[in-house]
Amino acid sequence: MGEPSDDEMMRASAALIPFVRRWGLPLNPENVAELAYAVLVHSRSLLPMEEIPAAVERQIDEHEEQARHPYRSRPADPAGSERLA
């Protein structure tokens, strides 16, 4: 499956913002984008359901590592295509 388009990412993030605000979740825009990315990618993923949590944990680890070291390049995702920046 391909990467979410920029339009899909913007729309998914826009749909999540009301939840973040209403529930007072301490998330910045980059965190919301990571949530949107995970939902979009795994809603059409061919991974078995039981493998999705581990894949998302790896995504979170990569996101946190990138936040700590913003000038390092991101690794390729498990499917082999480059992640959205």
User: What is the per-residue pLDDT across 36-71, written as a single tens digit (0 to 9) for each?
Assistant: 999 999 999 999 999 999 999 999 999 999 888 888
The pLDDT value given to residue 84: 42
Averaged confidence pLDDT in the chain: 87
**CA dist., res. 35 & res. 12, Å (int):** 9
CA-CA-CA-CA torsion sign (34, 39, 41, 46): positive
C-alpha to C-alpha distances, 20 to 28, 34, 67, nearest whole angstrom: 9, 13, 20
**In whole angstroms, what is the distance from residue 48 CA to residue 23 CA?**
30
- The pTM of this model reads 0.77
**Residue-range domain boundaries for the chain:** 6-68
The closest alpha carbon to 41, from 27, 28, 29, 55, belongs to: 55
